[in-house]
């Protein structure tokens, strides 16, 4: 009978061969369609599309066969692109990877060990399925800001599976409390399971809703969680990119931000939040003091990203 280490290597070989098979099948289907496509100007666009699909299939197969040296050619990354409509409406990829993550963490991470929970999530993203969280490289930026500013009350917009909340909970000061707002109840439940397993459930709370729901979520933060004037030290924006500016303005309008509070915004470079970048640039030195961190999108080194760290000056 195979030992535990042998089973891990067997699982990895099966996963790699699945990617090879998927890429080869994609190539074969596209090539078959190409050979049956009649010539002529009307078919030119479809032929180019099929050649693109065929080439992509070969690339995916070769990448998986070589051990996935190019992360953007991993099938789990391409699957995100194919499921973009579902992702932008439900904030899940649509193939069950978020639920699979929760099971993986609860099976492989030591109970009550926040460091191990973070390590296991990173392992899942590097070797199994990429997730749309901040990732390990940008996570270090988030760690450093929370560690240096020592916020007592933190607000996160966009919980997803709870990874960034774990990172913040690990370095926030004793007595600190993090409140995370999440649109999708399924994501909220996954995050709760992971937090409870990691032993931080008493310091991190998830609030299901959005700040743009007519005031209901804002009222809950005020009435149920004690948000008051000048009581908010830290905000992390990692939700709907089109809502960054609007939601930050909603928070400002309620005077929750104390002078010196810090706002960290992910994905300003990729997929990009130009409206938010312009907002901070136009108010630089008057209402905000912003530091630009050049970095990379999660779990790879090819696609560049930007994280903005902005200190609130008032006004």
Q: Is the pLDDT of residue 94 over 90?
A: no
The closest alpha carbon to 226, from 207, 209, 239, belongs to 207
Q: Is pLDDT above 70 for 158?
A: yes
Q: Which residue shows structure tokens 């789990």?
A: 76
Same domain, 239 and 290: yes
CB contact at 8 A, 236 and 155: yes
Distance CA 259, CA 252 (A): 11
Domain identity same for 132 and 57: no
In the chain the beta strands, taken as DSSP E runs, fall at: 153-157, 177-182, 204-208, 232-237, 257-265, 288-296, 304-312
Same domain? For 231 and 175 the reply is yes
User: Does residue 278 form part of some domain?
Assistant: yes
Domain boundary residue among 26, 47, 69?
69
- Can you tell me whether residue 222 is helix, strand or coil? helix
pLDDT at 274 over 50: yes
What pLDDT score was predicted for residue 315? 79
- Does residue 91 have a pLDDT over 80? no
Distance CA 299, CA 154 (A): 25
Model confidence at 25: pLDDT above 90: no
**Coil, helix or strand at residue 284:** strand
Residue 93 lies in a domain: no
| Domain extent for 61 | 4-69
Split at pLDDT 50, 70, 90, the class of 81 is low
Q: Which of 50, 69, 88 is the last residue of a domain?
A: 69
Instruction: Looking at the structure, tell me whether residues 33 and 143 fall in a common domain.
Output: no
What is the tally of structural domains in the chain? 2
Could you read off the pLDDT of 30-49 as tens digits, one per residue?
Answer: 445 545 544 444 444 455 44
Q: What is the CATH number of the domain that holds 228?
A: 3.40.50.150
**Domain edge (last residue) among 18, 47, 69:** 69
């Amino acid at each position: 009978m195979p030992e535990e280490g042998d089973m891990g290597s067997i699982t990895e070989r099966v996963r790699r061969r699945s990617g090879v098979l998927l890429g080869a099948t994609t190539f074969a289907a596209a090539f078959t369609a190409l050979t049956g496509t009649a010539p002529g100007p009307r078919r030119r666009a479809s032929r180019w599309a099929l050649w693109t699909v065929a080439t992509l299939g070969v690339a995916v197969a070769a990448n998986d066969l070589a051990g996935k040296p190019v992360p953007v050619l991993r099938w789990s990354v391409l699957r995100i692109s194919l499921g973009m409509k579902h992702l932008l409406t439900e904030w899940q990829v649509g193939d069950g990877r978020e639920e699979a993550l929760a099971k993986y963490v609860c099976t492989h991470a030591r109970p009550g060990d926040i460091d191990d929970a973070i390590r296991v999530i990173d392992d899942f993203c590097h070797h199994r399925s990429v997730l749309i969280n901040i990732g390990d490289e940008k996570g270090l930026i988030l760690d450093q800001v929370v560690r240096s500013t020592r916020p007592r009350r933190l607000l996160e917009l966009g919980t997803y599976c709870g990874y960034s909340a774990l990172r913040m909970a690990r370095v926030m000061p004793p007595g600190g409390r993090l409140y995370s707002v999440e649109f999708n109840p399924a994501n909220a439940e996954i995050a709760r399971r992971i937090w409870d397993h990691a032993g931080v459930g008493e310091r991190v709370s998830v609030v299901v809703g959005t700040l743009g729901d007519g005031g209901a979520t804002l009222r809950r933060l005020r009435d149920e969680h004690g948000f008051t004037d000048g009581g908010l030290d830290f905000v992390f924006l990692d939700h709907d990119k089109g809502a960054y500016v609007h939601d930050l303005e909603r928070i400002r309008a309620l005077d929750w931000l104390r002078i010196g509070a810090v706002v960290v915004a992910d994905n300003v470079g990729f997929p990009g939040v130009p409206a938010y970048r312009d907002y901070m640039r136009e108010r630089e030195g008057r209402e905000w003091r912003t530091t630009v961190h050049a970095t990379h999108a999660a779990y790879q080194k090819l696609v560049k990203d930007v994280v903005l760290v902005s200190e609130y000056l008032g006004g």
